[in-house]
Amino acid sequence: MNTNVPLTVEHSRVLKYVSWGLRILAAAAFLAAGGAKLAGVPMMVAVFDQIGIGQWFRLVTGLVEVVGATALLVPATAAFGGLLLAVTMVFAVMTHLFVTGGSPVPAVVLFLITATVAWLHRARMVATLRRLRATRLDGR
């Protein structure tokens, strides 16, 4: 560590790289999984048949994953993408545990990654929500 750089700057730089690494990793995973769902890969069709809600749910889930993955790659929307995908993974874990079986570990890992992204970018999310609220209140 460079002793001439203040700790806060060094800490900020490390968090920036950690954030980008987690966001790229999660985006790649969700673009692949969401794309497979949207493309109708036979394994995905079979999984959603087992869930029993219908294939429309596979398409909605694939769309949520692709939109969330894209949001992760845009700094202004990374927190929202992380939150959207973290909530999606909570439901994926519950689906593995109570409906389809199989290991929930990949969904748990993706939950931890996306929740971390949302946490790292929470200040931007709060600022955006405050701006939207102020705009809505001004427009009344």
Stretch 95-117: mean pLDDT: 96
- 51-76 pLDDT, tens digit each: 999 999 999 999 999 999 999 999 99
Cβ atoms within 10 Å, residue 36: 17
Q: With 70 as the cut, is the pLDDT of residue 3 above it?
A: no
The larger pLDDT score, comparing residue 108 to residue 1, is at 108
pLDDT at res. 69? 98
Using CA atoms, how far apart are residues 108 and 66, in angstroms rounded to an integer?
Answer: 18
138: pLDDT confidence band, cut at 50, 70 and 90? confident
Classify the C-alpha dihedral 27-64-131-121 as positive or negative: negative
Stretch 35-54: mean pLDDT: 96
Q: Tell me the domain boundaries of the chain.
A: 7-138
* The model scores a pTM over 0.85: yes
What is the amino acid identity at position 130?
A: R
